[in-house]
Structure 1
Amino acid sequence: MTDLTPGFTGSPLDRLDHERDDPAALAAHIANPRARLLLLDGLDPIVGADGTLAWGSLADAPADAELALLGLIEGTPRFAALTMPPADRGAYPIFALLAALPPGEAATYAAARSLIGWHARNHFCARCGTPTAVMRAGWARRCTVCDEEHFPRTDPVVIMLAEHGGRVLVGRQPRFPAGRYSALAGFLEVGESLEEAVARELHEEAGVRATAVRYVASQPWPFPSSLMIACIAEVASDEIVLDTKELDHAMWVTREDVAASLAGDPAAPFIAPPAYAIAHTLFVAWLAGR
């Protein structure tokens, strides 16, 4: 069967969780003359001439910025500066860069972007409103008054293909480029299983009812910090009742349609999601019979 490797996975980082509560270990990594700092333009990656992420020395960090230890790559400490980034410009301006980055590089960037963004949004305690301080080498914050500890969060999102009669359902949102269709998706709600969230979202957005759900793969998505959980759901009927607040259009496509789309055939009925998006992985998995 086809080996599935979703985008933003495969980082070579050794995350060093066992050293995050060790101030001496953190100080040694900071003092290491080989330590490297991830270079960013706001929250966007800077790509070097070799097509990989650009790294500088720790001296390149702003004077007032705290450092987060991302981990080790080939024995070298890797850091990110916990700056207050400018207003998030969203994912779209950097998609071309992400498409060109090697998968492991994109995964390292995704971890750093999500971590920096989380710190920028969590300067105050959710329990008492007091300012928080960085702890665990940049992988947590602690309230300076009530001692509540806060950890980076990931928001789970189900993303799924509905399957019926040898076809799958694809939809497009208003923000998509012209011709682009993808799998349907939605946030997991409290008190739901993955299977329940898949069934609910499919019914809410397209009016179809799931009869069976199978898990395919998952992917971190750093815009700002989600975990995309990819599934395929068999549904009872191909009748579509579209939620026009969520989708512009939805349609059923065949295996031939999907294969043509993934191949970039200009005659294909839709443009497929880019390779680093897990919706692309879902199409590949479905074609492979996963």
Structure 2
Amino acid sequence: MTCAERTGFTGFRDYENIEGVSQPVLPLARTAVDRAAEHRTDEAWLAAAWSHPDSRVLVVSEGKALVMDTGDGGDKRAELVLVPSFEAPDGGERYFLGVDAEGVAYFALSVEKLPGRMDDPARPAGLREVALLLNDLDSGLMVHAVALENWHRMHRFCARCGLATEVAVAGHVRRCAACGAEHYPRTDPAVIMLVVDDQDRCLLGNHALWPQGRFSTLAGFVEPGESLEQAVRREVVEESGVVVGEVAYAGSQPHPFPSSLMLGFMARALTTGIQVDGEEMSEARWFSREELREAVMSGEVVPPTEMSIARRLVELWYGEPLPRP
């Protein structure tokens, strides 16, 4: 089934069997761990798992964890530093992340400062830096841990009564001892969309805060009482002045910077006239495939990063991986 058949669009290429483009798992959506939510309220099980010699702990602090660089040359890789609980720092907040296929349990430990020595080859790194270098297991663990750690750091006090809250349900709830309110980790849905017109051109924009030449798909947060499709149409017209009709879901991935879920869409333009607001979006342009290729190769356009769902959407339309300058 072609993209056109899947979405009702015309002019899209068949991307189903293109090597390197065919339905890859998005980088931040990879995982090799069952979150095993049934264990989160079982204190005896959690205590036994924490003290088990095979269990592993990922220490995080302000969105970063320790990694070891591996590989060489063009095959640069990284792996998380995972330690048994008896080597983990004292104190901090503990979050249960899940269990892998071999039954190994994984935890995150949130601390004020990452441990380390001057002669230690491990280095602190954030997801933006190493997400593409990690394997599926490490990527899934770090995305989960960083998202939880950020939420806990930002929600120390009860939104109902204002008093301090404490960690509960293995890190997936904060509970207020004063009023009994329970608060759950926040995820903000955001739509991100590649708009294509009847000439099979794609619409890319330069955000006002970005360097000149950096272009990506349009995006924005879903507002209260709004469907995803309504959010796509509203954001596109607000940012570019282009009116969108058909909208088709294309995929999603978590985006813990700090707490978003990016929901990707392909959208069909009903109009092509561009009028940016000049505040959020400084420029927007239509690109044919040849125009985008030439602009990327010349350095005139810097495309979305390979970690982003925006890159995935553009490459679905482009028909193959984008060229590298």
Shift of 1:3: 1.4
Distance (whole Å) between structure 2 residues aligned to residue 189 and residue 93 of structure 1: 29
Distance (whole Å) between structure 2 residues aligned to residue 138 and residue 94 of structure 1: 20
Q: Does 1:23 align with 2:43?
A: yes
Root-mean-square deviation over aligned CA pairs: 2.2
Distance (whole Å) between structure 2 residues aligned to residue 63 and residue 175 of structure 1: 41
- Identify the residue that residue 255 of structure 2 maps to in structure 1: 221
- Identify the residue that residue 157 of structure 1 maps to in structure 2: 190
- Identify the residue that residue 7 of structure 2 maps to in structure 1: none
Matched residues, number: 281
Closer, same or farther in 2 for the Cα pair 1:7/1:132, shift >3 Å? Answer: same
Aligned amino acid, residue 274 of structure 2 = I
Shift of 1:147: 1.1
Closer, same or farther in 2 for the Cα pair 1:248/1:85, shift >3 Å? Answer: farther
1:34-78: CA deviations, max 9, x gaps? 221113454223221432111122234442212111112332211
Closer, same or farther in 2 for the Cα pair 1:38/1:276, shift >3 Å? Answer: same
Q: Please tell me whether the aligned partners of residues 27 and 131 of structure 2 are also in contact (alpha carbons under 8 angstroms).
A: no
Pick the aligned partner of 1:245 from 279, 298, 312.
Answer: 279
1:80-134: CA deviations, max 9, x gaps? 1133579xxxxx9763323322354323211110001111111111111121111
1:243-272: CA deviations, max 9, x gaps? 1111121111112344567xxx52265221
- Identify the residue that residue 102 of structure 1 maps to in structure 2: 135
Listed as ranges, the matches of 1:98-247 within 5 Å are 98-164=131-197, 165-247=199-281
Closer, same or farther in 2 for the Cα pair 1:58/1:42, shift >3 Å? Answer: farther
- Identify the residue that residue 57 of structure 1 maps to in structure 2: 84
TM-score, normalising length from structure 2? 0.80
- Identify the residue that residue 315 of structure 2 maps to in structure 1: 284
Q: Does 1:254 align with 2:288?
A: yes
1:196-236: CA deviations, max 9, x gaps? 00000001110011111111111100100110011111111
Aligned amino acid, residue 32 of structure 1 = H
Closer, same or farther in 2 for the Cα pair 1:230/1:34, shift >3 Å? Answer: same
Structure 1 unmatched runs, 5+ = 87-91
In our comparison, the structure showing a higher alpha carbon Rg is 2
Listed as ranges, the matches of 1:66-77 within 5 Å are 66-73=93-100, 74-77=102-105
> Larger deviation: 170-179 or 275-284?
170-179
Distance (whole Å) between structure 2 residues aligned to residue 59 and residue 248 of structure 1: 52
